[in-house]
Amino acid sequence: MRTRDLSKKFLLVAILGVFVWGCSNSKGGGGGSGGTTSTPAGSGGSALGGSGGGPAGSGGANSTAPIASGGATGSGGAPGSGGFKGTGGVQGAGGSTSGTGGASAGTGGRGGGGTTAGTGGRGTGGTSVGTGGRGAGGTNAGTGGAGTGGEKTDAGGTSEAGATSGDCVIGTWPTADPSTAGPFATVTENEVGPQAGTAPDGGTAPRFTMFRPKDMAQGGLCHPVITWGNGTNVTPAIYKVLLNNLASHGFVVIGSNSTNVAQGNPAPMLVGVTWVLEQNDTASSALYHRIDTTHIGATGHSQGAMATTQVSADSHITTSVPIEGASAQKNLHGPAMFFCGGQDTLVGCSGAQSAINAVTTLPAMYAEYLSVDHGSWMTFSGSKPSPVETTVTAWMRVHLMGDPELRSWFYGASCKLCTDSAWQITQKNMDQ
């Protein structure tokens, strides 16, 4: 059991009094006493854009004409004029090391009268490069670099686009300890993205704060996304220990700056996801081709927990963790953990219990940490995450990163949380 000094408790009660007042008086299903119903805040199936990893184009990795332009084996020799991986057949027309088509070139290959000169490079529809590549009269010269419609453009030279210079790969992440910072240095970007949600009187609608790995290319894997919802009258800054911990483990966390995050249509938490997916397709963005668009989680506290329950009806949300507040939601699209503090007399645990009772086929967990109240689960100073923040990080690693070692924290009758006396756990569809 964690203990807190008296001064922190008084500060927490003052802050949380504001949370609950806002939750019980917000118009968007914000808080209240953890009830089972709330007014939806744009929760139903928002049309989020840019769900793919970026179009491959005519010269990209998924070209409709995958290999060379010169027919199956060529009309004049082994390699050809269409390039090693150009627009049509396997290796096109030409001589084996010189002439019209080179051994690994595109329109002109390495040929055109010499072993290193060429007109094109690796061809118009090449797997890795496009129109220019290495051609036009020299080994390192190129007309167009990464190519027409390729995933990235490089104005000639040897730094070619595609897998070699770095689009990310969706895959299973190496395991990591969720109770400490992960392998990534982090950066926090304030006031990003579009305006979303309700505006204060005489003001403008708030934007977003993003917590993310500083080097998005580190490790080569695509980064899952987590959308965050604040409690009433607070912003993401108060949750920075949790959100930074998630970012250090490789997640891109987008948090609305709204102090009433359950209000607005479309819901601010979904607007944040839409914007991140758009950045994945924007060449000037640090997120360009670095996002795992298939693994997106939602979590939030108090009013933000209610908003999390609502936005989890959107098909892009593949897992969710409402913290201290939830309502029954039968349209989930992935596993959910409903958390409450055993000492929470402000919202209580009835909402979380109702939420898990509504789940029928998906994996779900009711997780009550017995010693904390509505807000004392948070780390207010220092950088080491609390047991609850550690557990949220572990859940997201399992369900968005496929962490193989942490699955036993939650699944099976003898799961780690199930056998820890600090927790009261109810599982549904989590035997394996």
Report whether 410 contacts 395 (CB < 8 A). Answer: yes
The whole-number average pLDDT for the span 21-47 is 34
pLDDT digits (tens, 9 = 90+) for 112-147: 333 333 333 333 333 333 333 333 333 333 333 333
**DSSP result, 356-406:** HHH--SS-EEEEEETT--SSTTS--SSSSPPHHHHHHHHHHHHHHH--TTG
Does pLDDT of 383 surpass 50? yes
Report whether 161 contacts 71 (CB < 8 A). Answer: no
The whole-number average pLDDT for the span 227-245 is 96
pLDDT above 70: percentage of residues in the chain? 62
Report whether 28 contacts 307 (CB < 8 A). Answer: yes
pLDDT above 90: percentage of residues in the chain? 57
Q: What is the pLDDT of residue 331?
A: 85
Q: DSSP label at 238?
A: G
Report whether 278 contacts 156 (CB < 8 A). Answer: no
User: Rounded to whole angstroms, how far apart are CA atoms 376 and 338?
Assistant: 17
Least confident of 42-51, 217-226, 323-332, 381-390: 42-51
> Which pLDDT band holds residue 203 (cuts at 50, 70, 90)?
confident
pLDDT digits (tens, 9 = 90+) for 366-380: 999 999 999 999 998
C-beta neighbour count of 230 within 10 angstroms: 30
Rounded to the nearest angstrom, the gap between the alpha carbon of residue 132 and the centroid of all alpha carbons in its chain is 33
The label of the residue with tokens 């000492």 reads: 343
Q: Which residues of 143-159 are buried (b: 16+ CB within 10 A; e: fewer)?
A: bbbbbbbbbbbbebeee
pLDDT digits (tens, 9 = 90+) for 251-267: 999 999 999 999 999 99
Average pLDDT, the chain: 72
C-beta neighbour count of 49 within 10 angstroms: 12
- Residue with the bigger pLDDT between 279 and 33: it is 279
C-beta neighbour count of 34 within 10 angstroms: 27
Residue 15, token pair as written in the block = 């802050």
Q: Which amino acid is at 172?
A: T
> Which pLDDT band holds residue 381 (cuts at 50, 70, 90)?
confident
pLDDT digits (tens, 9 = 90+) for 144-183: 333 333 333 333 333 323 333 468 999 999 999 999 999 9
C-beta neighbour count of 200 within 10 angstroms: 11
Q: Which amino acid is at 217?
A: A
Residue 114 CB partners (closer than 8 Å, separation 6+): 98
Beta strands in 127-270 (DSSP E): 186-192, 208-213, 223-229, 252-256
pLDDT digits (tens, 9 = 90+) for 69-128: 333 333 333 333 333 333 333 333 333 333 333 333 333 333 333 333 333 333 333 333
- Residue with the bigger pLDDT between 56 and 316: it is 316
Q: What is the pLDDT of residue 201?
A: 78
Q: Domains plus CATH for the chain?
A: 6-50+169-428 (3.40.50.1820), 62-166 (no CATH)
**Closest C-alpha to 308, from 348, 273, 343, 275:** 273
Please give the helix or strand (H or E) that residue 296 lies within, else none.
strand 291-301
